[in-house]
Structure 1
Amino acid sequence: MQPYQYSRLSYPDQGSGEAFRLLLLHPSLNQDVPLQCTIQHHDLARAPPYEALSYVWGTDDCQVSIYCQGNTELRARYNLKQALLSLRLLHQPRTLWIDAFCINQGDDDERAQQVMLMRTIYSQAHRVIVWLGDRTPDVEHALRLATNLRQVSLSVASSPADHHASFWDTTAIRTLAAAEGLFAIGELADLFDRPWFTRIWCVQEVVASSAAVARCGDLEIPFADIVGAASIVHKFRDGMVTGRPLEFWNTVALQKYAEWPLSPREGSIGVLEKALMAARDFESTDPRDKVFALLGLVSESKGWFVEPSSIDSIGVKLIRQAASTITQLVSGKGYTPKQLKIDYRKSVMEVYRDVTRFILRKAPRVADILCQAHHLTDPGERKYWPSWVPDWSRKRNTAVLGGMGVFTADDMWLEQEDKGLSPTHHDTLFLGGFGFDRIIRVTEVLECDIQDALELDILWLQLFDIAFLESWQEPYPLAGMEETRGMAFLRTVMVGELGLILYDGLMGELWSAASATNTLKLPRDYTRAENDGSACMMNLIQCDHPGMARLAQKAQGGIAAHFDRIAKSLGYGRRLFLTEYGRLGLGPRVSRPGDAVTVLYGGRMPFVLRQQGAHHLLIGDAYLRDDAIMSGSVSKAVRGGQGVHHKVTFEIR
């Protein structure tokens, strides 16, 4: 049988509306009868009622035929075939939109045009059917548990002790266990392991929907019931484990189903850079779709728009305000910058490079996106890939220290020369900033398993060549930092104030206060954390050294597991380092002695750069145990022409 031949869709510039296809799935009383369908062309604005299918293509090479238009065939993989068999009605046809069949996948131009319509296609669907796969013996119980978990999570407030309680001792879990027992929580967790929850396109498909149901075989429940339980399953799996998108689905649940919008712009999940960061752990068959699948969800898709923030500096707020005003004055469709056009003719690197450059250049011109360049190997070895371009096809391999806006190494805007407009400089950034120190020692990468103890005593030896008890009470050599070297070490491991915020689960309260007062007041009391950190060291050191008594006194009342949890969460995939001037820091995994520690204008975090001839490689962001650097006071002095450091332009490739 001949393959189905797609006829050309007509587009707006040819005098019609926005054209798309729908699939009419023919009915059958007998499930053994082969699937049959008809492909129809429609104007999106005047389409008949239809349902949109959200599913994963799968990797199974074994394909089956679906008879189309009577005498041609479409090829479907196992997962899609099972979905269609489940959805086929007995007596009447079913009208569906399915990307694999309704888009000519062999035509890059049509594919790009239809991808731009996908948000509208899913939003106009009568409902979106989320196909999670076949029914299994335990899935019915898991779906019922999802409904109960969501009800509990919405009705039971957390207790203050929940942040450091074990999963089984949290208020919500105790409540649910009392109602029906909790042996099935693993079954629900397994449901979130199904491939659908890891695919990037699935995000847009449910966020855009007006109504969505989850389906396993012939079982259906509201999708809100499943995704609403994501936060509890995330705790069950332990939130410190990287590479799981559960946290993002919890965010989607809060925004879409709990009336906690992520953006003041209707239909948006926020600006592009935040969406890219949040969806980093998702997967796509085509790596370019890690960007393209988000374009219909972000504020930039609705025009040139910058999200407001209550904790930005005055200069940044003015730029944001001006950008928003201009957006409101321009009538008609929003302007889509050239860098955000969906173009499958570009390579993966070109797509990622161009969107990174766009984010750097748009108001308010900050360098936060560069914190996403997490290298697994020496960036100099990837000759075709600029070191400053994040590889969104790779999952997170470390925590993002600057994403919460706690630090402001520079709180103004990025200074970028326009040489990047030249065809000869597409892969190069020319950024203003200054260097202030150089790395002389690094530790091993912090990659211990969640069950293993973090060997702080070994890390100390790798930095200082002298045992912890021999030197931890020496003063930290940085002027203005009134703390011992041992306490500076513990505060570095927990990333200073960021660790304190996570320590007590204060993020929501701090941001609520910041919205009300326009200031972000960070906690500074390290007493509890240092007691816990000292207890951590006590567990690792077994000797009769005289310093043990002082360490034991510091550890009194401390709970080692608390400090261990925060340190692993924030430090995973990074190295501790020591600089020429005695600063302690937590930097990228590929840091090495000789790397320069710098501030790039517009960057909340300092950056580690590596000189290669006349240019530099971006190694990644870093935390420094230096209040003057992390608060931005040094940067303000340099911008004002004062102090010992001077502004330079870094050529970064």
Structure 2
Amino acid sequence: MYPYYPLSRTRGEIRLLDLKPADWNDEISCSLRHAELTETLEFTALSYTWGNPHIRKTILIDGYALDITINLYDALQHMRDAKQPRTLWIDAVCINQDDLDERSKQVLRMRDIYAIAVAVEVWLGKTDDDDDVAAMDLAGRLGAVVNDPEQALAQGFDAKYQELFLKEIEQCTPEVLRALGRLFKRPWWTRVWVVQELSLARQETAKVRCGKRTLPWLDFLITAYAIELSWFIIDAIISNAFPDERLDSFNQAIRMAQCRRLNSTHPTFALLELLNQHRDCEATDPRDKVFGLLGLSGDVDDIGIEPDYTSSPQNIYTDLFRKHVIATRSLDMICACRYPKKYADLASWVPDWSTDQIVPGICINDRYKGGNDFPGSPVAHFQKYSASGTSSPCVSFSENKISMSAIHFGSIVSVGDIDDGMAFQDIETFGRQDKNGKSGSDSETFNQWLNMVLDSPTWDEIAKQYGAENVLDAFCRTLVGNRNNRMMKPPPEGLANEMHDESDESGIGDDREQKEITLGDAEPGDTEPGDTEPGANESDMTTSTSSEDNAFSPPEMLSMTLDGFRSCIQVSWGKRFAILDSGHIGIVPQHALVGDMVAIVLGCTMPLVLRPTNVMSANFVGESYIHGVMDGELMDGHVVETWILE
């Protein structure tokens, strides 16, 4: 086997692979040399996936055998020139994978390696059939539509481009469009390392290879935007041109384009944002879910986290949490915890970054999978929550425990069903009645949550918290986390009528009917202090009730654009509605239970759901949105206690 010689740390050496020219069927022969990483080096950095680690083939390096994965072997065979040598940097070969200390040090250098490389070449894999070739050709034609790709990606695509995109797409067969979707579903797109590799690469020289066919990387980015912009029209022309996976298929390319654009102008990504944004990316080594993004983080030096392949994933994740709290003076990383955890021995308060982002978070600025923002389009900037006001965390760590200061203001007395997303798919028809007088919404979850409020034994406490006439307004705002400053106030009369009709059909008694009438009695001019911003457009606050069917649509009620509405879905999707004994209502994690306590923790922007295990001890359950406490309202006049999380 090839004997690796140590790299000089004082000279900042890396290894470069010289791929020798040969015919297609010849064995792959290379040489490996040490070089100081400087701007004058000329080499191509390969971006690829390792593939199945158990299927390997042998190449020769300076006469010695080295086993590599079959996917890397295929890449070298396709990249090899018949006449000229090629100089490459490939992590699996240029880093001694058996030397954990070297791996840790060289990973830190990958940011510079991909930035200095004269070119970065993406290897998607071999072409499977003629449709793959046709799909590559389509990507090339879509890329050629744009005269200045960098400018278009930065500023957005106007109607002229959309029309040109459609002309190209309409000429394609369903088979070619599906093949294009498959290209974007290849494993390379899911790999966490590619985010850094292509964000740092020179965009003008980066290219994508599929088999023998290569295209500029920018053509693929433009293609991803073209498909997203044309999606509804494509689906109308060619039914099911892409399977249900279409959001995942192209979103990763778009996220990478955004990451590159923002990194080139403001290279200050917070590590927590990066970790959450790319949580659904994959890594063979779970430690790389953190290490693979360090090169893009603007606060990594302040946090003090470095690659260390001698440490376990559990230790790395725990150490990251501790250092992040100290460096940022914030406990918000705790909100990234998701369940179930892959590592059962992780403390309840430590995020397991090896698990996917299955359920969207509320606190951290992540993206609901269906709601990408295109360059040049208005981005939905929501207010940040500040449940603990301007307080800093008061914490101490011991073994797998954390001590923190908290205000316990309520416990859960009832929880609703889990929102599977149908409530928001049906929300445009909720409240509409057909000619038979039946509601247009099929969402049982959405209706159940409403009924929870109306039937709650703690109704008096709820009415005390929000005012009886404002409870319905609080309910609607809770569903979207109050994240639209143009939220209508009060809710349309049609909703109260719909609720009243439901009570008639279900035979609910006079007490509930009186609550419904109270909820519907608000006058159009009634507002609460602080509900609208100075100078808000009056049209943003008006109701919309049809004279023909006395119907309304919640998107009108919420006065938000489709993009903004999609972004708000993350507040409730995959979570439960809950009522506290204090009368507060809110959104809690799907695994929250009756009896769980809710607390404001100093230094955390979100109220946290905790499950008591002993006196003043608890396990962390998850973040929550509790209406009426998200702006520090409870920070004065409440007892601050010390709780220990295990």
- Matched residue, 1:492: 478
Deviation at 1:209, TM superposition (A): 1.4
Q: Which amino acid letter does the alignment assign opposite residue 586 of structure 1?
A: I
- Deviates further, 396-405 or 485-494: 485-494
- Matched residue, 2:435: none
- The 5-angstrom pairing of residues 71-86 of structure 1 reads 72-86=64-78
Gaps of 5+ in 1: 160-169, 305-335, 501-521, 638-642
Deviation at 1:281, TM superposition (A): 1.0
Is 2:80 the partner of 1:51?
A: no
1:341 to 277, 287, 306: 306
- Matched residue, 1:354: 319
Determine the C-alpha separation between the residues in 2 that align with 1:177 and 1:20. Answer: 46
Which string of whole-angstrom CA distances, capped at 9 and with x for unpartnered residues, describes residues 39-72 of structure 1?
11222238741111110001252211112212x2
- The 5-angstrom pairing of residues 558-637 of structure 1 reads 558-559=552-553, 569-614=570-615, 615-626=617-628, 629-635=629-635, 637=636
Instruction: Number of aligned residue pairs: give it.
Output: 553
Deviation at 1:177, TM superposition (A): 2.3
- Matched residue, 1:205: 197
- Matched residue, 1:113: 105
- CA contact under 8 A between 2:478 and 2:625: conserved in structure 1? yes
Q: Which amino acid letter does the alignment assign opposite residue 352 of structure 1?
A: Y
Determine the C-alpha separation between the residues in 2 that align with 1:224 and 1:433. Answer: 49
Is 2:381 the partner of 1:406?
A: no
Is 2:443 the partner of 1:445?
A: no
- CA contact under 8 A between 1:416 and 1:429: conserved in structure 2? no
Determine the C-alpha separation between the residues in 1 that align with 2:487 and 2:449. Answer: 28
Determine the C-alpha separation between the residues in 1 that align with 2:506 and 2:164. Answer: 47
- The 5-angstrom pairing of residues 538-549 of structure 1 reads 543=505
Which string of whole-angstrom CA distances, capped at 9 and with x for unpartnered residues, describes residues 143-166 of structure 1?
34445556579399789xxxxxxx
1:592–1:241 Cα change, 3 Å: farther
- CA contact under 8 A between 1:429 and 1:651: conserved in structure 2? yes
Determine the C-alpha separation between the residues in 2 that align with 1:275 and 1:536. Answer: 43
- Matched residue, 1:219: 213
- Matched residue, 1:367: 331
Deviation at 1:540, TM superposition (A): 9.8
1:192–1:179 Cα change, 3 Å: closer
- CA contact under 8 A between 2:600 and 2:607: conserved in structure 1? yes
1:561–1:631 Cα change, 3 Å: closer
1:482–1:6 Cα change, 3 Å: same
- CA contact under 8 A between 1:536 and 1:561: conserved in structure 2? no
- CA contact under 8 A between 2:405 and 2:641: conserved in structure 1? yes
1:430 to 403, 410, 417: 403
- Matched residue, 1:394: 355
1:274–1:218 Cα change, 3 Å: same
Deviation at 1:475, TM superposition (A): 10
- Matched residue, 1:128: 120
- The 5-angstrom pairing of residues 450-469 of structure 1 reads 456-458=443-445, 460-461=447-448
- Matched residue, 1:311: none
- Matched residue, 1:176: 165
1:149–1:41 Cα change, 3 Å: same
- CA contact under 8 A between 1:443 and 1:459: conserved in structure 2? no
Which string of whole-angstrom CA distances, capped at 9 and with x for unpartnered residues, describes residues 252-298 of structure 1?
31353xx545763xxx3512111111111111000001111111221
- Deviates further, 49-58 or 404-413: 404-413
- CA contact under 8 A between 1:475 and 1:484: conserved in structure 2? no
- CA contact under 8 A between 2:394 and 2:603: conserved in structure 1? no
Which string of whole-angstrom CA distances, capped at 9 and with x for unpartnered residues, describes residues 362-415 of structure 1?
13x1222111112237x9xx7621111111111112122123453221232422
Determine the C-alpha separation between the residues in 1 that align with 2:502 and 2:162. Answer: 33
Determine the C-alpha separation between the residues in 1 that align with 2:224 and 2:165. Answer: 15
Is 2:41 the partner of 1:41?
A: no
Is 2:488 the partner of 1:525?
A: yes
Determine the C-alpha separation between the residues in 2 that align with 1:612 and 1:246. Answer: 44
Deviation at 1:459, TM superposition (A): 5.5
1:371–1:544 Cα change, 3 Å: closer
- CA contact under 8 A between 1:474 and 1:486: conserved in structure 2? no
Which string of whole-angstrom CA distances, capped at 9 and with x for unpartnered residues, describes residues 579-613 of structure 1?
11222211112110111111111222111111111
- Matched residue, 1:322: none
- CA contact under 8 A between 1:213 and 1:223: conserved in structure 2? yes
Secondary structure class of the residue paired with 1:586? strand
Q: Which amino acid letter does the alignment assign opposite residue 619 of structure 1?
A: V
Which string of whole-angstrom CA distances, capped at 9 and with x for unpartnered residues, describes residues 461-499 of structure 1?
47856988x99x999514344645444333322222x2x
Deviation at 1:619, TM superposition (A): 0.9
Q: Which amino acid letter does the alignment assign opposite residue 376 of structure 1?
A: P
Determine the C-alpha separation between the residues in 2 that align with 1:204 and 1:466. Answer: 47
Q: Which amino acid letter does the alignment assign opposite residue 384 of structure 1?
A: D
- Matched residue, 2:373: none
Q: Which amino acid letter does the alignment assign opposite residue 340 of structure 2?
A: L
- CA contact under 8 A between 1:587 and 1:621: conserved in structure 2? yes
TM-score using structure 2 length: 0.75
1:540–1:92 Cα change, 3 Å: farther
Secondary structure class of the residue paired with 1:128? strand
Gaps of 5+ in 2: 233-241, 366-382, 427-440, 521-543, 559-564
TM-score using structure 1 length: 0.74
- CA contact under 8 A between 1:213 and 1:220: conserved in structure 2? yes
Kindly report the root-mean-square deviation, in angstroms, between the aligned alpha carbons of the 2 structures. Answer: 4.1
1:18–1:541 Cα change, 3 Å: farther
- The 5-angstrom pairing of residues 259-338 of structure 1 reads 259-261=261-263, 264=266, 268=267, 270-301=269-300, 303-304=301-302, 337=304
Determine the C-alpha separation between the residues in 2 that align with 1:408 and 1:207. Answer: 32
Secondary structure class of the residue paired with 1:477? helix
- CA contact under 8 A between 1:460 and 1:467: conserved in structure 2? no
Q: Which amino acid letter does the alignment assign opposite residue 572 of structure 1?
A: W
Is 2:180 the partner of 1:188?
A: yes
